[in-house]
Amino acid sequence: MTQCDAPPPLSRWETALMAARLFAIDPAGLGGVSVIAGPGPVRDLWLERLRGALASGAPVRRVPAHIEDDRLIGAVDLTATLASGRVVLQMGILGEADGGIVLIPMAERLSAGVAARIAAVLDRRELVVEREGLARRIPARIGVVAFDEGVSPEERLAVSLRERFAFHLDLRDLSARGLANLAIDPSETAAARLALASVEGPSADVVEALVATAAAFGINSVVAPLLALRAARVAAALAGRRAITEEDAVLAARLVLAPRSQMMPDEAPDETEPPAPPDDPGADEDGDDDDDDDTEPATEPPNLEDIMLAAVQAAVPDDLLAKLKTGAGGPQPTGRNSRLGAAKSSALRGRPTGVRMGALRPGSRLALVATLRAAAPWQAVRRNDQVARTVSRPIEVRREDFRFKRFAQRRESTMVFCVDASGSTAFHRLAESKGAVEMLLAEAYVNRTFVSLVAFRGHGAELLLPPTRSLTRAKALLANLPGGGGTPLAAGVDCAVLVALAERSKSREPLVILLTDGRANITADGQAARGRAMEEALDSSRRLAAQRIAAVFIDTSARPRAEGSDLAAAMNARYVALPYVEASAVCDVARGAASEFFTEPLRPR
């Protein structure tokens, strides 16, 4: 990449306010803004600036994280429907916010269903209501401001919404004093809103530069360059221009592409080999062309793509830039993917999650209002049937109208660490495993995760830590860890299977994490016979797979060999080579495995 001078970078507050300006001009076109910030004066001041820049009279609605469909998208107005004899729709929040914005506090807690409904409205710019005898299309040209208050990497806004938002801001560690001298002029945004329709489309150079910049920073989404083009058009309107300039495109790339960066662009060497001069048979044989030697080669100005690459690189957040330089960037957390402590549906208790159709059963909890709403659109038809039957009822409810409440409970899970405590490196493996256990137990209360530790050495296996969520108890039981001796791998796997099955009987999802080099040398009867010990270990691994227990095989050998991969295949486990065992690495593997194995869709009861 040719190094060139990029425009001076904006400060974090200037970036946040510029994003607010552009979003206030065209909320529906730019989709939304995700703001990583907890409640406090910084977030309130930014939101105050945004509200002041919106169109006069633009509605602002707030969506709770656990909102139900009746309030989100609308439902039958029961009172009006029964009074008028025709179906009357009670407008939902998304329809009420047409032409304005929707605020979502604690957006990381949105369920997948609610996020999908909001994403569909952002795509269509209308709300489709098809339920309870209704079929309506309601204009819903909205923008979304999602406040991400998650405290861990796993707690993030759903990807379905992040993908559709033009701007991603991080207001953490900012001081409210930095906003004292910065303001948004409502008259400027109002004038830009009127001029937006007259801004011409982008040139081919702008489109190519934005697409190439997105590709250079590893942004695989096709939506990101489109949002950047829209932001560039809004920036041109804000500046009073009728066409998109390089300045507008560079600003849009900074705001839209920089927070999405997944890798650093490849840099070409500064010195390139000059091309060989072409052969010219008519040149002077004596070489009398000294007049050309004094002319200096013309320097070409940097093109738009180079300027944009340099500007985006300068705008990448410092923490993200450090990760990208070390290759630790990668895809962003997807939000609510980890099923550690995920919700499971329940018919009787837990947090309400909506209603469902069904038949009357003992113990079912009837949703009375939802049942009456389902019956209300059909009362005119049923009254005619009542006349024919000479039976009169104020409201006729039939079997197909019944609606029952759904509840969600937190699903518990158990991680069973099965650690090879044999050999000279046993103490290191056990110590790092203990560290991983303690790190996971520190999060156990929130994730509702139990952790257990099985160690095998000598002639058998031992349950060092029964399943627990108590960090204090774990530290007390794991104070003195045994180590050394042979490797009875089959005994260790069998012990882990027994613990996992016991946890499954308590309605907990088990996950076995095996740390070993895979070289068994002690048989079940305590004999030192490597060949038979490996066969027994394979048999135990197959028994684990037959029980459909999720498992991860962490190969701790300095040079991974076939024994480890064969055992992982036998137990149908995820294979991870980790020659240098560290507590943080083991903990990351455990979290990743939980996200992978515990993401099956839940079926309502």
**Mean pLDDT along residues 253-282:** 66
Asked if the model's pLDDT at residue 165 lies above 70, the reply is yes
Q: Is residue 72 packed enough to be buried (19+ CB in 10 Å), middle (13-18) or exposed (0-12)?
A: buried
Q: What is the pLDDT confidence band of residue 541, given thresholds at 50, 70 and 90? A: very high
Task: Please state which of the ranges 73-77, 280-284, 309-313, 435-439 shows the lowest mean pLDDT.
Answer: 280-284
Q: What is the pLDDT confidence band of residue 335, given thresholds at 50, 70 and 90? A: very low
Q: Could you tell me the two tokens for 227? A: 């949002």
Q: What φ, ψ does residue 211 adopt, rounded to 5°? A: -65, -45
DSSP string, 175-212: -GGGGTT----HHHHHHHHHHGGGSPPPPHHHHHHHHH
**Average pLDDT score, the chain:** 79
Rounded percentage of the chain residues whose pLDDT exceeds 90: 32
Contact (Cβ atoms closer than 8 angstroms) between residue 519 and residue 565: no
What's the pLDDT at 250?
Answer: 92
**Mean pLDDT along residues 132-153:** 84
**Mean pLDDT along residues 146-150:** 89
What's the pLDDT at 78?
Answer: 74
Which of 37-41, 252-256, 505-509 has maximum average pLDDT?
A: 252-256
For 339-348, write each residue's pLDDT tens digit: 444 445 444 5
Asked if the model's pLDDT at residue 79 lies above 80, the reply is no
What's the pLDDT at 228?
Answer: 95
Q: Where are the beta strands (DSSP E) in 12-91?
A: 32-36, 60-62, 74-76, 89-91
What's the pLDDT at 301?
Answer: 59
Contact (Cβ atoms closer than 8 angstroms) between residue 344 and residue 408: yes
What's the pLDDT at 490?
Answer: 92
What's the pLDDT at 447?
Answer: 64
Rounded percentage of the chain residues whose pLDDT exceeds 70: 76
Domains parsed from the chain with CATH numbers: 12-198 (3.40.50.300), 343-409 (no CATH), 413-597 (3.40.50.410)
What's the pLDDT at 299?
Answer: 53
Asked if the model's pLDDT at residue 282 lies above 60, the reply is no
DSSP string, 403-441: EEEEEEEEPPEEEEEEEE--STTHHHHHHHHHHHHHHHH
Question: pTM for this structure?
Answer: 0.62
471: CB partners within 8 A, 6+ apart = 438, 441, 442, 444
**Mean pLDDT along residues 590-595:** 73
What's the pLDDT at 385?
Answer: 67
Asked if the model's pLDDT at residue 598 lies above 60, the reply is no
Asked if the model's pLDDT at residue 336 lies above 70, the reply is no
Which of the pair, 324 or 479, is modelled with greater confidence? Answer: 479
What's the pLDDT at 3?
Answer: 43
Strand, coil or helix: 145: strand
Which of the pair, 402 or 225, is modelled with greater confidence? Answer: 225
Which of the pair, 561 or 552, is modelled with greater confidence? Answer: 552
Which of the pair, 163 or 394, is modelled with greater confidence? Answer: 163
Asked if the model's pLDDT at residue 477 lies above 50, the reply is yes
Q: Which amino acid is at 336?
A: R
Which of 165-169, 265-269, 423-427, 589-593 has maximum average pLDDT?
A: 165-169
What's the pLDDT at 154?
Answer: 61
What's the pLDDT at 55?
Answer: 92
Task: Please state which of the ranges 8-17, 28-37, 381-390, 561-570 shows the lowest mean pLDDT.
Answer: 381-390
By C-alpha distance, which of 595, 597, 584, 593 is closest to 433?
A: 584
Q: What is the pLDDT confidence band of residue 7, given thresholds at 50, 70 and 90? A: low
